[in-house]
Copies of this chain bind each other. A is one copy, B any other.
Amino acid sequence: MSLRIAIFDDNKNIRDSIGLLLMTEPDFELVGSFCHVLDCVEDIRESRPDVILMDIEMPGMTGIEAVIKIKKEFPHIQILMQTVFEDDDRVFDSICAGASGYLLKNFLNTKLVDSIRELQYGGSPMSPSIARKVLNKMQSVSSVIKPEETPDYHLTAREKEVLSCLVNGLSYKMIGADLNISYETVRSHVKKIYEKLHVASLTEVVAKAINQRIV
């Protein structure tokens, strides 16, 4: 049972050299080689690949857009992105689009076969620097995927009301009118909030309240 592979890349030299590389593996079969992704869904329907090597920068439609379309039609196909770019946006866009691996082109010669093998066995090959980017991103969004322990500042109910008014951009006067208390009372509450949050200005209060989801 051979592994069917297709390539999308606008550079003929790269397509050819990848073809040669793949030939070194007896069970790899190159079933398609395309210079653009405009007809990718049809191309794939005809060539029925198991694995797709996708260049990111191509005329007409980018590889990332293509990945979205392909994954929608053929969710089981494994897609390996290959590019010279390693800017964060492209990396994350590719992953979110549904790519299963991300290989920088300077690793093509040495790592392509290994990477396809990894895909075949359920892995996700990534060039080292890409893997690092992905881990860093995971850490930075950990606040979203993890519950995030919000430190308790012991704000009273009233103080929280005032705080949420502040976050909504109200001035002290407006807050007073809103909560039917005097301007001075608002000030008292705000002073307490300042103490409890260890800040010294409205902007800090708002930033802290939003970032730590106190509101």
CA distance A122 to B135 in the complex (A): 12
Q: What interface size band does chain A fall in?
A: 35 or more
- In the complex, the chain B residue whose C-beta lies closest to that of A174 is B201
A124 touches B118 (CB 8 A): no
B169 touches A203 (CB 8 A): yes
- In the complex, the chain B residue whose C-beta lies closest to that of A209 is B207
A139 touches B98 (CB 8 A): yes
Contact digits for A129-144, partner B, Cβ 8 Å, 1 yes 0 no? 1011011011101101
A98–chain B nearest beta-carbon distance, Å: 7
- The answer to whether the Cβ of A7 comes within 8 Å of any Cβ in the partner chain is no
Which one of A132, A137, A202 has the highest number of Cβ atoms from chain B below 10 Å of its Cβ? A132
Closest 3 CB pairs of A and B: A123-B128, A169-B204, A96-B142
**A residues neighboring B (CB under 8 Å):** 92, 95-96, 98-100, 118, 121-129, 131-132, 134-135, 137-139, 141-142, 144-146, 166-171, 199-204, 206-207, 210-211
23 contacts between A and B (CB under 8 A): A92-B142, A92-B146, A95-B135, A95-B138, A95-B139, A95-B142, A96-B145, A98-B139, A122-B128, A122-B132, A123-B128, A123-B132, A124-B128, A124-B135, A137-B138, A141-B145, A144-B144, A169-B199, A169-B200, A169-B201, A169-B203, A170-B203, A202-B202
